[in-house]
Structure 1
Amino acid sequence: MTLAPTLTTLDALKAGQTGTVITLQPNATAERDGGIDVSRRLMELGFVPGERIRMLKRGLTGGPIAVKVGQSTFALRRFEAALISIQPE
């Protein structure tokens, strides 16, 4: 019997944890940012299925997080990180 992989969202990772991007919520928009397509922007930054990520640092409750994807480091808002489904390692 094979167990299904445990998925979570990027905002739930602890500092130092790694994982692989599985999916992004489609068509998520940020009304407070003029209605930009957040999912598309995240994909353009490199948060694409199959990409390995590492949580570098978590800010205070509700604050931004620092994430490494590929050779780049990004600060994401919590709501952006919550759009990214990952499989923790």
Structure 2
Amino acid sequence: MTLAPTLITLDALKVGSSGTVVHVAPGDAGDGADLARRLMELGFVPGEKIRMLKRGVPGGEPLAIKVGNSTFALRRFEAALVSIQAE
């Protein structure tokens, strides 16, 4: 018997942890499809390895995320659109 991998959203990933992008969902707002497309254009595509580098203080925003050779700052609601499989 095999267990299905547990998916989390990128905003829940701990600092220093890595994962693999599984899905980018459109947000609830009217521009959700545009935001999902923008994230995918930045490199948040299924199969891509990512790493949580740092969380800002106070409040934990922005999130510093490494994708490939690039580093991006995302807001929590943006990171919540990216489903990942943590390593």
Give TM-score, length-normalised by structure 1: 0.88
Q: Determine which of 58, 77, 80 is the counterpart of 2:55.
A: 58
Structure 2 unaligned segments of length 5 or more: list them.
none
Q: Determine which of 37, 42, 45 is the counterpart of 1:45.
A: 42
- Separation in structure 1 between the aligned mates of residue 50 and residue 65 of structure 2, nearest angstrom: 7
Instruction: Give the superposition deviation at 1:29.
Output: 6.4
- Separation in structure 2 between the aligned mates of residue 46 and residue 29 of structure 1, nearest angstrom: 21
Structure 1 unaligned segments of length 5 or more: list them.
none
Report the RMSD for the aligned CA atoms in angstroms: 1.6
Return structure 1 stretches of 4+ with deviation > 2 angstroms.
28-31
Give TM-score, length-normalised by structure 2: 0.90
- Percentage of identical aligned residues: 72
Corresponding residue for residue 86 of structure 1: 84
- Separation in structure 1 between the aligned mates of residue 44 and residue 10 of structure 2, nearest angstrom: 10
